C-alpha cells in the first residue's frame, strides 16, 4: 500500500471491523418448521429447538448487488488499465471489502456460485436464481476482455489479502507453479461433491471458505483459525488463497488467456530494467511482461516503473501546471 494510504487504510479497516456488526444485514426469521419429530413423539421432556428459515432478500436488492458488482469491475478496469493508479484501486478494495465482505457477509459470491451452477446444469429439478447466474458469469465475461478485474478491485477475499500484504517474499517459481495446481484439484473436488445426489451433496467451497467467518463475525473455530493462518501468512506471501486454492481464480485464469487487453507494465515503451519483476508480489511477471492469467490486477508494478510510477505522475502534473520540465 502506498505510504500515504497506509494510515487511512488501517483506520478505515479497523472502523469497518468495529462497526460491521451494527450495519450487517439482519436476518429475519419466520415459519417454525414442524416436520421434525415433535416433543410429544420424542418424550422424556425433550424440547424441540426452533428451526427457522430466513426470508429471501428483496428482488431489487439482489439486482442492486449485480449492478454494484458490474460497476465495481468497470471502475477496476478504468483505474488499472486507463488511469493506472494503484492508490485509487486500494480505495476500491476497501469499499468492496466493506460492501461485498462485511455488509453482504461474503454472500452471494461468484466463487461459491460455481457449485450452484454445477448442480443446476446437472440436475433438472434444481433451480438457481438468475441473480446467482449473473454473479457467476459477469466476472468471467469481464475477464474475457480485460483480465482479472474482479480479483483486483472487487472480490472481498482478495481485498482482505491484498490489504494485509506487508513484506512480500518471492515464492520460487517451481514451487509457485506446483502449488498453483492445487486450485484445479479443489475445483474438481468441489464439482464432484456438488454433483452427488441431493441427500449427500456438499458445497465444499462454502463450507471451507476461510474468510467468511470474519465477514460474519461468527463461524467454527477451526475455519477461523485457518482464515487467520491465511491472513498471517498473507502478510509475507502475496494472496496465498487466491494463488493456490481459489477455484474461481482457476476459471478466471483460463478465461483471461483469451483477453486481448490487460495490464501492461509501462504505458508505452518497456525499459526492461526489471524493477517491476521485483515489485510484483504474485510472481505474475515473466521476462519483464505481465502474465495475464496470473496477474491479479493490483497495479503494484506501475509504482515501481520509472516511466509510470509516482515520480512520473508528479512530473506529468508539474508539466500540466507549467512547472519545470
Ligand atoms: S483468486 Fe479467487 S479469492 Fe482471489 S480475488 Fe480472485 S476470485 Fe477472489
Ligand atoms: S503484473 Fe503483478 S504487480 Fe503488476 S498488476 Fe499484475 S499482479 Fe500486480
pLDDT in tens, the chain (325 residues): 455 445 544 554 555 445 444 444 444 445 555 566 667 777 777 876 666 666 678 888 999 999 999 999 999 999 999 999 999 999 999 999 999 999 999 988 999 999 999 999 998 888 888 999 999 999 999 999 999 999 999 999 999 999 999 999 999 999 999 999 999 999 999 999 999 998 889 999 999 999 999 999 999 999 999 999 999 999 999 999 999 999 999 999 999 999 988 888 776 666 677 788 888 999 999 888 899 999 999 999 988 877 665 555 555 555 555 554 4
How far are the Cα atoms of 26, 38, 253, 262 from residue 280, in angstroms, in the given order? 40, 60, 17, 15
Q: Is the beta carbon of 69 within 6 A of some atom in ligand 1?
A: no
Counting ligands in written order, the one closest to the CA of 245 is 1
CA of 161 from ligand 1 middle (Å) equals 10
262, 299 contact by CB (below 8 A)? no
Q: Is the beta carbon of 230 within 6 A of some atom in ligand 1?
A: no
CA of 283 from ligand 2 middle (Å) equals 8
pTM for the model stands at 0.80
Q: Which of 4, 303, 302, 298 is nearest to 154 (CA)?
A: 298
Q: Is the beta carbon of 111 within 6 A of some atom in ligand 1?
A: yes
Q: In the chain, at which residue ranges do the beta strands (DSSP E only) sit?
A: 29-30, 53-54, 285-286, 289-290
Q: Each residue of 183-196: b (16+ CB within 10 Å) or e? A: beebbeebbebbee
Ligand 2 atom at minimum distance from 296 CA: 7
Amino acid at each position: 500500500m502506498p505510504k500515504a494510504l497506509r494510515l487511512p487504510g488501517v483506520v478505515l479497516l479497523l472502523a469497518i471491523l468495529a462497526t460491521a456488526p451494527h450495519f450487517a444485514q439482519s436476518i429475519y426469521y419466520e415459519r417454525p418448521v414442524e416436520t421434525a419429530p415433535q416433543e410429544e413423539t420424542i418424550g422424556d421432556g425433550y424440547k424441540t429447538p426452533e428451526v427457522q428459515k430466513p426470508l429471501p432478500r428483496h428482488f431489487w436488492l439482489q439486482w442492486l448487488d449485480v449492478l454494484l458488482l458490474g460497476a465495481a469491475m468497470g471502475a477496476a478496469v478504468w483505474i488499472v488499465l486507463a488511469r493506472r493508479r494503484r492508490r485509487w484501486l486500494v480505495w476500491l478494495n476497501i469499499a468492496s471489502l466493506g460492501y461485498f465482505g462485511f455488509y453482504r457477509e461474503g454472500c452471494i459470491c461468484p466463487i461459491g456460485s460455481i457449485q450452484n451452477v454445477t448442480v443446476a446444469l446437472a440436475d433438472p429439478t434444481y433451480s438457481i436464481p438468475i441473480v446467482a447466474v449473473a454473479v457467476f458469469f459477469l466476472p468471467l465475461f469481464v475477464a474475457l476482455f480485460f483480465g482479472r478485474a474482479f480479483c483486483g478491485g472487487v472480490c472481498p477475499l482478495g481485498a482482505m489479502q491484498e490489504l494485509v500484504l506487508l513484506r512480500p517474499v518471492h515464492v520460487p517459481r517451481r514451487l509457485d507453479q506446483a502449488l498453483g495446481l492445487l486450485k484445479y484439484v479443489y475445483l474438481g473436488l468441489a464439482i464432484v461433491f456438488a454433483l452427488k445426489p441431493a441427500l449427500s451433496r456438499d458445497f465444499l467451497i462454502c463450507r471451507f471458505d476461510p474468510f467468511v467467518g470474519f465477514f460474519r463475525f461468527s463461524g467454527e473455530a477451526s475455519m477461523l483459525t485457518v482464515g487467520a493462518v491465511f491472513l498471517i501468512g498473507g502478510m509475507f506471501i502475496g494472496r496465498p488463497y487466491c494463488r493456490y486454492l481459489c477455484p474461481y481464480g482457476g476459471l478466471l485464469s483460463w478465461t483471461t488467456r483469451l483477453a486481448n487487453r490487460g495490464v501492461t507494465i509501462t504505458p508505452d515503451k518497456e525499459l526492461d530494467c526489471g524493477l517491476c519483476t521485483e515489485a510484483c508480489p504474485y510472481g505474475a511477471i515473466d521476462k519483464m511482461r505481465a502474465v495475464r492469467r496470473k496477474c491479479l490486477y493490483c497495479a503494484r508494478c506501475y509504482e515501481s516503473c520509472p516511466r509510470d510510477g509516482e515520480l512520473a505522475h508528479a512530473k506529468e502534473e508539474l508539466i500540466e501546471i507549467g512547472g519545470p520540465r
